[in-house]
Structure 1
């Protein structure tokens, strides 16, 4: 079972850069997308292409056009799809989508960024607080859970190219890192770090100053799995050669 998570930073833009030729070559069973920035009625050609590749597809866009939004593509039809998390403002921004399968549930998550200013940082903290409680409740009925997506947080210094100069940057603030530490320690596995403790592995790069070419990045995209799935983890890889977005995809393989 191959599961990809990818913040595509606009699925229409990514499609023009060869996203679906690449996806066909990966032969992934399931794909969590974030920041799709499109309503289904805006992308009929893309939906047709997705179906040609053999995927069922489920979309939870933001109410605001051209903003946020998540999707799940899967070759295995889910038993159930849950759109949103029940919190009005979060659901209006299209940030949480879950598909339940035999053996596990898969969530595509797009956590808010706080980089635009104090107001959005406050909303990010509000999301983090809500999400803690939401997942605690969800795990009572869905213990085999994979939360894949863009968390907009670097967990530790190893996950960012320059921790000292970014100490006061949204995405690497002490409160955010502490939240990530507590969230993971509350029964989750950072699946990439489960296999790889080496530095210089990132999933997002600024478009400025040639950051990607210099590998001056941040690791903010994760496959977090509940610990009960540990014996099913086969491998996790970051795929930086995929150039359809300012993020790159991450690939989780399960047995």
Structure 2
């Protein structure tokens, strides 16, 4: 069994002060992926015995950023999509013997949708990248994809139609990705589960009342679907406005 965890920590330094390491050490993950680390090289020294650390920092301070902590030594490591100079630190790919692991923090379209065009262009490049990897060996994609795919994936679907993260365009990109040969691991095991969310606004009582969105995912190449032993969401884990999502592969 291989256990993977993905978590948008919304600032790792703050999350470390809110119990991150307790959760990390208790989790028993073989591969632990982070998004929105919001730090630069040298700003945090994590002693994680038995894990190799891979970081992709954004050029802009206190913004974006991804990391993977791995018990398994990868065959290769890649940062970014086409090149290694992705300025927002959004993608890390580790190659293992039987699959690629892609950790991603998808760009947000912004509340006023001012970044929607950038987001859609990025989505096209990201899909091409995943398809190029999938042509070589199966792919596991995890991270904050910044979209609730279906109405079941957020509490107040009707009032959020057209809002950032629930536009027809963003949802269409997710549909296209899945139709390109990928499976949403959580929905594969729990097709009808409602009230299963991974992000909540910081507004008062929103998380307590579970008014959330499911925007954090583990997607796998279709031919890996039969290896999905478990796929979960851990809303009780605090420290960020997102909670961890998990995947266990047999």
TM-score (norm 2): 0.96
2:55 to 48, 52, 59: 59
CA distance in 2, matches of 1:115, 1:87: 25
| Structure 2 residue corresponding to 1:251, chosen from 224, 246, 250 | 246
Give 1:140 shift: 1.8
Counterparts in 2 of 1:173 and 1:88: CA distance versus 1, 3 Å:
farther
Quote the residue 1:119 is aligned against. 114
Aligned to 1:106, the other structure's residue is in SS state: strand
Task: Report the Cα offset of residue 22 of structure 1.
Answer: 1.0
Aligned partner of residue 21 in structure 1, secondary structure? helix
Query: CA–CA distance in 1 between the matches of 2:84 and 2:71?
Result: 30
Displacement of 1:88 after TM fit? 7.9
Alignment of 1:150-161 (within 5 A): 150-161=144-155
Partner of 1:216 in structure 2? 211
* Structure 2 match to 1:36: 37
Report the equivalent of 1:6.
7
5+ unaligned residues in a row in structure 1: which ranges?
Answer: none
Q: Are the aligned partners of 1:98 and 1:106 in contact in 2 as well (CA < 8 Å)?
A: yes
Q: Check whether the contact 1:115–1:169 (CA below 8 A) recurs between aligned residues.
A: no
TM alignment of 1:104-143, pairs within 5 A: 104-141=99-136, 143=137
- Which whole-Å CA distance do the structure 1 matches of 2:223 and 2:162 have between them? 35
Deviation at 1:40, TM superposition (A): 2.5
Alignment partner of 1:148 out of 109, 132, 142: 142
Alpha-carbon separation, structure 1, partners of 2:183 and 2:75? 25
TM-score when normalising by structure 1: 0.94
| Residue 167 of structure 1: aligned partner | 161
Cα distance in 2 between the residues matched to 1:169 and 1:233: 32
Q: Residue 32 of structure 1 contacts residue 107 of structure 1 at CA under 8 Å; is this kept in 2?
A: no
* C-alpha distance in structure 2 between counterparts of 1:82 and 1:70, whole Å: 12
* Pair 1:68-2:69 in alignment: no
Which secondary structure does the structure 2 equivalent of 1:42 belong to?
A: coil
Alignment size in residue pairs: 248
Which has more helix, going by share of residues?
1
What residue number does 1:97 align with?
Answer: 92
- Asked if 1 retains the 8 angstrom alpha-carbon contact of 2:78 and 2:84, the reply is no
Counterparts of 2:176 and 2:194 in 1: how far apart (Å)? 22
- Please state whether the residue corresponding to 1:22 is helix, strand or coil: helix
The residue number in structure 1 matching 2:17 is 16
Q: Are 1:183 and 2:183 matched, yes or no? A: no
Q: CA deviation at 1:87?
A: 5.5
Q: Partners of 1:134 and 1:144 in 2: how far apart?
A: 13
